[in-house]
Chains A and B, each alone.
Chain A
Amino acid sequence: MALIELQDVRKTYRLGSTDVPALRGVSLAIGRGEFTALWGPSGSGKSSLLNLIGLVDRPSAGRVRIDGRDTGGLGDAARARLRNRAIGFVFQGFNLIAVLSALENVMLPLIIRGESHSRAHLLASQRLAEVGLADFARHRPDQLSGGQRQRVAIARALVTDPLLVVADEPTANLDARTGQQVIELMQALNRSHGVTFLFSTHDPRLATYMQRVIRLADGALHDAPDGIPLPQGVAA
């Protein structure tokens, strides 16, 4: 069974009195342990799609299944619990809590879950070490570089052992080299721990890291080879 399953998912935003269709019927499946890139130009609906898969937004129509479970009927609190348990988030803007240290940021999802402080501390320390930031545990986000911040965010996304990590343009705010290092880190974690990653990007320089690519244009999937051009070196 696929970990993530979307069936004819549509998303329409209301902007004043006009409807803006962002997703026009997307169906796809992502399996356990996959390392998938969501590829498409700006405005193609990548963020909208990731928001639906990450359970922070609801589709206008269609179904979103996670681990075989339809999420359509879940209430607000249940979705929050499911996000906390099953989904890790990496944001374009890092979204670390400014007043918390690197370690405290990584502990946060466990604290939200109600884990004891000592256990959260232990697990978060391990994750922080895995992303190579053991020495920066006590640093505040503003004392870290962009790459370091994104690594903290990755540690935070992984600390709950989620089924899926959703990353919306995780490298967009980083320079090319740092961006590459962040993707390499994600790839390494995918290989060593089998974490399922789904990240969006429109950066062709990351082409070499894409194991599977889902192409999105104007709110719809483009599987046809004559669709939008794939970055060089990626097999369709």
Chain B
Amino acid sequence: MIAFKLALRNLWKNRRRSLATLIAIALGFAAINLFAGYIHNSYNGLRLGSIYGEGLGHLTIARKGFFEQGSLKPEQFLFSETELARLTQVLGAEAGVQVVSPRLSASGLVSNGKLSTIFIAEGEDPALANRIWRRGMGRPKLDPAQPGAGLVSRVLAERLGVKAGGNLVTLSNTLEGQINALDLDVLRVWDTGTAATNDKSLRLPLSYVQKLLDTRGASRVVVLLDEDADADAARAVLAPRLAAAGFEVDIKTWVELSNYYRQVKRLFDLIFAFLFVIVFVVVLMSIINTLSMSVMERVREIGTLRALGMQRWAVVRIFAAEGSLLGLLGSLGGVVLTLLVKLLITLGHVSYTPPSSSSPVPLSISVLPSMLGVTLLVLCLVATLAACWPARRAAHIEIVDALGHV
């Protein structure tokens, strides 16, 4: 207790210096937590965008080997109609499974009568697909009542000169290898969000694609779970169930299928680690600096305490206490600062334009209690350990030298 009493009073005595250190710690603390809050929200937005906006659901199930070779030999990896029914039945019986939606992709040529160009199409059951949907996620619905109508990506529509209500013809090889053509009504034009797909994507009813490829099967089954479900955990549960039911499948999570999410997350995680290291070093250096000054000023006091019988470790404890108090108070200041900035951002309706977007969105930052707690613990620990270095020096000053010191 004497250690904390001495530490607290000396911090107060040198309050100007202490304040400078506390501000450095608080700023670092707030930077970490505000950035963590920002990327947390970004991750969440990207997650919902992948699951609902891209329609990846939480899990995608396909026959073993499909994810490696499925595009070369699609016919070898199809689930038959009866298999799909059984998959739907087995998966539907699991707790937490919301939607089980078969998918089938196709590619070929799409024509307006004069002009033809290539397309990549994703076929899904309109009624099921519409249940994997979120407002504002840029994924328009299909119409279950119009099995011959599909969505055309914006650049493709412009190239073919069609609008909603227009007509096109799709041309593809059936799985057997015969040429097949079908009329397509343009239900809506939509933006895929990426230039790479905006000039060739179609979203079609599953039955349409099945007719085009002349099959009753599907290549994949997308599973939507409860919104916040852990996809990895769900996979661990579902994989043995499907194996037991006789299916040899590979299961991928939405994270594994979303390159964009993984790239953004890798970048943000790197920036966060970098920021954390900087704050770590700043706190370390400012504590060492402050405590070294403190030790130098108090050499005679240290000599006196040692003469009065204080052990070396108890001297270390005095300065370690000073370090941990700086860490604690600085972190508490950081909590206040974090909440304050968050409040200002909320009240000020601050918006910005993220790299992936063309229009400004509100800057949203969540303050994460767990992150606050972890940062507080880490910074207190850093501060205490940083203090131990000058403190050890203090403890090893010879008493006689210290007493002679003016």
Query: What separation, in Å, do the CA atoms of A77 and B395 have in the docked complex?
Result: 12
A-B contact pairs, 18 of them (CB 8 A): A54-B307, A56-B399, A56-B400, A57-B398, A57-B399, A77-B311, A80-B311, A83-B307, A83-B309, A84-B310, A89-B307, A91-B304, A97-B304, A97-B305, A100-B5, A109-B308, A112-B2, A112-B309
Does A81 make an interface contact (CB < 8 A)? Answer: yes
Among B1, B300, B304: residue with most chain A CB under 10 A: B304
Q: Which residues of B sit under 8 angstroms from A108, Cβ to Cβ?
A: 2, 305, 308
- Cα distance A80–B311 when bound, in Å? 6
Considering residues A57, A81, A93, A95, which has the most beta carbons from chain B within 10 angstroms of its beta carbon? A95
* B310/A97 in contact, CB under 8 A: no
Q: Which residues on the B side are within 8 Å of A57 (C-beta)?
A: 398-400
The residue on B at minimum CB distance from A97 is B301
Complex contacts, B306 vs chain A, CB 8 Å: 56, 80
A100 CA to B13 CA, complexed, in Å: 11
Chain A positions 69 through 94: 1 when the CB is less than 8 Å from some CB of chain B, otherwise 0: 00000001100111111000101010
List 3 A-B pairs, minimum CB-CB distance, nearest first.
Answer: A84-B309, A99-B9, A56-B399
A134: shortest Cβ distance to chain B, in Å? 22
In Å, the complex CA distance between A81 and B155 comes to 86
> Given A56-B306, A111-B2, A112-B305, are A95 and B311 also a contact pair (CB < 8 Å)?
no
- Whether the pair A98, B311 counts as a contact (CB closer than 8 A) is no
> Which of chain A's residues have a CB closer than 8 A to the CB of B398?
57
The distance from the CB of B139 to the nearest CB of chain A, in whole angstroms, is 66
Q: Mark B145-188, 1 if CB is under 8 A from A, else 0.
A: 00000000000000000000000000000000000000000000
A residues near B, CB below 8 A?
A: 51, 54, 56-57, 76-77, 80-85, 89, 91, 93, 95, 97-100, 104, 108-109, 111-113, 117, 156
- At the interface, yes or no: B403 with Cβ under 8 Å from chain A? yes
Contact of B309 among A81, A95, A98, A100 (CB under 8 A): A81
Q: Taking the nearest CB of chain B, how far is it from the CB of A42, in angstroms?
A: 14
Asked if B400 and A99 sit within 8 Å, CB to CB, the answer is: no
Nearest CB of chain B from residue A107's CB, rounded to whole Å: 9
In the bound complex, residues from chain A placing their C-beta under 8 Å from that of B305 are 97, 108, 112
Known: A95-B304, A99-B13. A109 touches B403 (CB 8 A): no
- Contact code string B334-353 (vs A, CB < 8 Å = 1, else 0): 00000000000000000000
Separation of A80 and B312 alpha carbons in the complex (Å): 9
Q: Which residues of A contact B257 (CB under 8 A)?
A: none
B298-322 interface with A by 8 A CB criterion: 300-301, 303-312, 314
Residue of B nearest to A107 (CB): B2
Q: Given the complex of chains A and B, what is the CA–CA distance between A54 and B9 in angstroms?
A: 29
Q: Complex Cα distance A121/B10, Å?
A: 22
Known: A54-B307, A83-B309, A85-B309. A95 touches B403 (CB 8 A): yes
A99 to B15, CA, bound (A): 13
